[in-house]
Structure 1
Amino acid sequence: MNVLPSGRMRFIAVAVILCAGFFWPTAFAHPLGEWTKLILTQHWPQTFCSVEKCTTNLSFWTLHGLWPNSGMRCNTSWHFNASLIEDLIPEMKKYWPDLRAPSSPQFWKYEWTKHGTCAAKAESLNSQHKYFSKALELYHKFNLTNVLKNNRIMPSEQHYTLDEVETAITSFYNVKTKIQCVHPGKGGQVQILGQIEICVDRDFQLIDCEKSTEEIWSNDIPAVAVSGQSELSVCDHSMPVYYPPVPSRS
Structure 2
Amino acid sequence: MIPSNLTAPLKFAPRHLVFALVLSIGLVCVAVAYAGDVQEELLLRGVAEQREFDYFKLALQWPGTYCRKTSKCCAQNGCCRGSNGPTGFTIHGLWADYNDGTWPSCCSGKKFDATEISTLREALYKYWPTLSCSKSKNCHGGKGLFWEHEWEKHGTCAASVTGDEYNYFVTTLNLYFKYNVTEILAEEGYVASNSEKYPIGGIISAIQNSFKATPEVECSSGALEELYLCFDKTFKPRDCVIETTTNSGTLTSSKCPTYVSLPDLASSNLEHSSAYPTLKSSI
Structure 1: runs of 5 or more not aligned: 1-30, 185-190, 213-232
TM-score of the aligned structures, taking structure 1 as reference length: 0.70
AA of the residue aligned to 1:246: L
State the aligned residue count.
Answer: 189
Per-residue deviation, 1:146: 0.3
For 1:42 and 1:126, the matched residues in 2 are separated by 21
Q: Provide the secondary structure at the position in 2 that maps to 1:154.
A: coil
For 1:37 and 1:249, the matched residues in 2 are separated by 36
Structure 1 or 2: more strand by fraction: 2
Equivalent in the alignment of 1:72: 105
Structure 1 or 2: more helix by fraction: 2
Structure 2: runs of 5 or more not aligned: 1-48, 73-78, 98-102, 137-143, 244-252, 270-283
For 2:69 and 2:135, the matched residues in 1 are separated by 20
1:197-236 alignment runs, 5 A limit = 197-210=228-241, 234-236=254-256
For 2:104 and 2:163, the matched residues in 1 are separated by 15
AA of the residue aligned to 1:245: D
1:42-191 alignment runs, 5 A limit = 42-53=60-71, 55-56=79-80, 57-69=85-97, 70-75=103-108, 77-101=109-133, 106-122=145-161, 125-156=162-193, 157-182=195-220, 184=221, 191=222
Equivalent in the alignment of 2:224: 193
For 1:96 and 1:82, the matched residues in 2 are separated by 15
For 2:50 and 2:131, the matched residues in 1 are separated by 33
In terms of mean alpha carbon deviation, does 46-55 or 128-137 score higher?
46-55
TM-score of the aligned structures, taking structure 2 as reference length: 0.62
Contact 1:161–1:241 (CA under 8 A) maintained in structure 2: yes
Q: Provide the secondary structure at the position in 1 that maps to 2:154.
A: helix
Contact 1:33–1:118 (CA under 8 A) maintained in structure 2: no
For 1:236 and 1:44, the matched residues in 2 are separated by 14
Per-residue deviation, 1:51: 1.9
Per-residue deviation, 1:242: 1.2
Per-residue deviation, 1:94: 0.6
Q: Provide the secondary structure at the position in 2 that maps to 1:170.
A: helix
AA of the residue aligned to 1:132: F
Q: Percent identity?
A: 30
